Amino acid sequence: MISVGAPGPSAGRPRLPTVAGRIRDSDIAEVRDRVRVDEVIGEYVALRRAGAGSLKGLCPFHDEKTPSFNVRPSHGTFHCFGCGEGGDAIAFLMKMDHISFVEAVERLAERVGHRLTYEGGGSSVQRDRGTRSRLLEANKKAAEFYAAQLKTPEAPRPSSSSPPAGSTSRRRSTSAAATRPPAGTCSPSTCSRPGSRSTS
């Protein structure tokens, strides 16, 4: 029981230090205000008018045949009545592209042309924060490029004269070679030495 005048539960707790490289709150609010949630979501989901200033489409977070995914541009939010997912444009990008909060804010800030300010950590933090996004994008582009190259006529093909590695005929010849005795040697059941007498 807390007596009158006693310090509350939070009194005396040390304040959490500012995280180096943390995006300023005013910048996050600015990005939320300037980005159009319907345009962001419209790149992933086919939306159509649903009346009362809202849009609807098939939810990208679960399988459904009847649209229950609603977007309200005037509020900057989305909500699915089927699975319960909801939030703003930042939350949508985090869920769709499996990226962090910071990466989602950075992507949207770039989209609306807003320069972010980071508290602590210096200017190098901005470059480091976007590194993962750039690496993932580069990896995706490289995978698409090599997949396309494998479908071209110039792509290397297995030789028809030799069986592919791991084929039955190749395994059979390999196993036979492994059990054959080395040249110049023999076992009693396969040969007799020169000059030796036959037992028969």
What CATH code is carried by the domain that includes residue 129?
3.90.580.10
DSSP annotation of 57 = E
Structural domains of the chain, count: 1
In a domain, 50, yes or no: yes
In a domain, 184, yes or no: no
Res 11 pLDDT > 50: no
In a domain, 196, yes or no: no
In a domain, 134, yes or no: yes
| Averaged pLDDT score across all residues of the chain | 76
Q: Which phi and psi angles does 119 have, rounded to 5°?
A: -90, 110
In a domain, 96, yes or no: yes
Domain that holds residue 134: 22-149
In a domain, 124, yes or no: yes
Global model pTM greater than 0.85: no
Looking at per-residue pLDDT, the higher value among 183 and 137 belongs to 137
Integer CA distances (angstroms), 145 to 65, 134, 135, 141, 152, in order: 34, 16, 15, 6, 11
Predicted confidence (pLDDT) per residue in 147-177, tens digit: 888 888 888 776 655 555 555 555 555 555 5
Res 10 pLDDT > 50: no
Q: Which of 78, 74, 109 is nearest to 96 (CA)?
A: 78
In a domain, 198, yes or no: no
If phi > 0 it is left, if psi is from -120 to 50 it is alpha, else beta; for residue 11 that is beta
In a domain, 60, yes or no: yes
